[in-house]
Amino acid sequence: MSSLTIAEARGRADLIGVAGYTVHLDLDQGDETFASRAEIRFTASRPGASTFLDVDAREVSSITLNGRSIDPATVADRRVELPGLQADNTVVVEATMAYSRSGEGLHRAVDPADGEAYVYGMSFLDAAPSIFACFDQPDLKAPYDVTVHAPQGWTVFGNGATEQTGPQDFRLATTKPLATYFVTVCAGPWATLRDEHDGIPLSISARASQRDLLEAQAPQMFEVTKQSFDHYHRLFGVRYDFGDYDQLFVPEFNAGAMENPGCVVHSDSMIFRGGISRAQLLGRSNTIAHEMAHMWFGDMVTMTWWDDLWLNESFAEYMSHRCLAESTEFTEAFVDFGASRKAWGYRADRAPSTHPVAGAPAPDAHSALQNFDGISYAKGASVLRQLIAHIGDDAFVAGVRDHIERHLYANAGLADFMSAMERASGRDLTAWQQAWLGTAGTDVVAVHLERDGDRVTGATVTRHAPVERPADRPHTFDVAGYSGGDRVLQADLTAERDEQQVPELVGQRVPELLIPNAADLTWAEVRLDDATLAALPEQLAGVPDGSARAVAWCALDAGVMTGRVDPRLLAGTIARSWGRESDDGIRAGVAMRIVPRLRAFLPAAEVPDAYRGIAAAGRELFDRAADGSPDQLAGARLVAGASDDVQLLGRWLTGDGLPESLRDDTELRWAVARSLARVDALDDATLQRLSDADRTMQGELEGIRIRALRPTAEAKEQAWESLAHDADLSNYQLVAHAEGLWGSGDPELLRPYVARYFADVPPLAERVTGMALGRVATAAFPWPVVEQDTLDRSREALARTDLADDVRRSIVDQSFLLECALRARTAFPGGDTP
């Protein structure tokens, strides 16, 4: 399947302009397909020329251009030629389209809780032609008029406010000019709650079976939505102008959310079951604020081509955290950013697949998707924070307002954005742009102290760019030191050379912990000195600044990843500090990001004891916390995920030993069941009882995952056969099989599936596409088999020419993690646990 190239997009944009779309979708055609009719009005600057239209249909029944019929058989490779254009043109395409199971296009899912079906449109990145014929590129924006015929009892949402015109018919209000990748329709028997704020109609919807959960959680979501609107209206000086603001929590969604103007879709995994931690609330609130920020950056002002995708995502990533910190209860939002989002970005920037924040080559649409990662999000947001440090916040905000006003409802790129910043600041930013936006890689920053007794007599900051990617990045950040839970040393500085003195630190007290970039203002790998590393297990939890603790955790994790720090130190720090950590976001980041991966870095014989120590940290917090408190929930979750104590887990599975608030916690019960399955201590009858008690989409996925988790040859074979050959599985079901298969078992049991990965996963590209393919290829990768043979097979696979881009990127990134784990095991083969 071809992918639109930048040259083709520029040529088409030079030739045509799109005046508007009229789209009709008939969703009452059965379970497999729907009918689509698209009428497109467009102009041509050179009458007599030809162009092409994008259409990805099961069957095209008719195509007419200015009243002339075009043979549907001429549609090839998702395109049809439109010859002999006039100055003003109308093309009409009638087609039968296929519902998707991959989370792209018009995805259809059936809720096992009640048998009800739901569909939602995900047009990003190039999936719009599988819903309606279109000129599918971001710089051919146009207004849309959409009508929908839906099954009886369904409701419909889309980019325009919905009017029901008949028992099964709906009309959506004419939209502002939209890029094709924003167009969506969401239909089904939704449970919907409505509100209003500042003249903007609001709604939140989820599956009917989730109504009770939705009603309990919607007030908090509405509150954050309203606070975010007020924040952005004040900050940008331009009001939201896409009509209603509907938010739908949809099943089997590939990402966290999608910023469709007026109709944002979120993953329904954010309609939480069981206990809800503050970290979960912050994460969901951040997603709400992130997608709303896109209404300005991305929706009102849209990138010209996919190589500027970073500007959409970096901007929304930064603005959402700023919005939460300044305008909601989540004042610690930037601590969470450092603990979780930046850790994701640092891993991406260390990998061989790293790329510049801006200007990474995107010769076609598919290649651009490979840059949709932690660099475009977290690193880009951090770079915007450095831009603010460089030019000042007032100039930054003025530049943002200028940029939005100049390109409202149109397109813009990097040059346009930087020009607005230069006008607002009065500074030439050419060198800054090249250093921070145009060069890949992460600088290493460290501070070295000279001392006399307990006083600093000299201080040097060093800054080193990767040798293979030289750069000259100015870093504005701080240095802080802590002893006994007090800050005893501090200085602000800008590192503009590879080595420079910090006279402000002279005379200050020598700390037990020395943390560069303690306020987490810059993007850099922080290298901690030996004394600080040694003191971390006992001292880290007492550091009073959340950002400094998040930086220290990231630095420790980076040290293990790069082979400089013994992974036992990381395990020991979790065991001794996690239970005393006060920030729920840091706790969640460590538990969800570091703990599952740590077992690959430790010598295999030491893994059980290390995880018992980690589980003990969770038990410490659980026993100390008040009943029903967030601390108790966090501790219970860590125990459930890390413990191999079959007796304890067996009691918890029945609610014995748990407080009243957790006895009926469905998510905690499944976490306990997973740990029991991991050691083959969960029988079929018990699993069936759990599944019978949770006949939901989530329960169905947990059943799949647990069956694959069992460390038996039969369980692994069944999981792999389903993953590799069952064409009826959804994107989520495929990932569940993969996660379970690799989640347990000794190398002897898992080793046969290393070769099968490279034989069976690349062909999945024939039925799974885009983000879904990348998720499956990543989850199925055999990096838990930490052996040189696995790495050798990965390198052999990368020499192939038949790999889809998404599979290749997954192999590159997962091979890098495997290489890091092998390096750590080689560098630290034995020794005492810290």
* Residue positions annotated with a catalytic role: 291
| DSSP helix/strand/coil, 763 | helix
Instruction: Tokens for 256, please give them.
Output: 């966290």
Q: Are 184 and 123 in contact (CB under 8 A)?
A: yes
Give the amino acid at 656: D
Look up residue 345 and give its two tokens. Answer: 């970005």
Mapped onto helix, strand or coil, the DSSP state of residue 153 is coil
Q: Are strands 455-464 and 499-501 parallel, antiparallel or unpaired?
A: antiparallel
Please give the Cα distance from 292 to 604 (Å, whole number).
Answer: 45
Phi and psi torsions of 134, nearest 5°:
-165, 170
Q: Determine the residue type at 761.
A: V
105: left (phi over 0), alpha (psi -120 to 50) or beta: left
Indicate the DSSP class of residue 377: I
Q: Please give the helix or strand (H or E) that residue 456 lies within, else none.
A: strand 455-464
The distance between the two most distant Cα atoms of the chain, rounded to a whole number of Å, is 90
d(C-alpha 640, C-alpha 661), whole Å: 16
Question: Token pair for residue 558?
Answer: 């980076």
Query: Rounded to an integer, what distance in angstroms lies between the CA atom of residue 324 and that of residue 279?
Result: 13
Residues with Cβ within 8 Å of residue 412, at least 6 apart in sequence: 301, 302, 303, 304, 403, 406
DSSP label at residue 523:
-
What b-and-e string marks burial along 305-339, b requiring 16 or more CB atoms within 10 Å of the CB?
bbbbbbbbbbbbbbbbbbbbbebbebebbbbbbbb
| 600's tokens | 């690959």
CA distance 344 to 337: 10
Question: What contacts 51, CB < 8 A, 6 or more positions away?
Answer: 12, 15, 16, 44, 81, 82, 85, 135
Exposed, middle or buried, 629 (CB in 10 Å: 0-12/13-18/19+)?
Answer: middle
Specify the residue for token string 């839970």: 485
Taking residue 791's Cβ as centre, other Cβ atoms within 10 Å add up to 18
The amino acid present at 820, given as its one-letter code, is C
Residues 6+ apart with CB under 8 A from 538: 576, 577
Task: Report the Cα–Cα distance between both ends of the chain, in Å, rounded.
Answer: 53
Residue 121's nearest CA partner among 261, 275, 284, 274 is: 261
CA–CA dist 108, 101 (Å, integer): 6
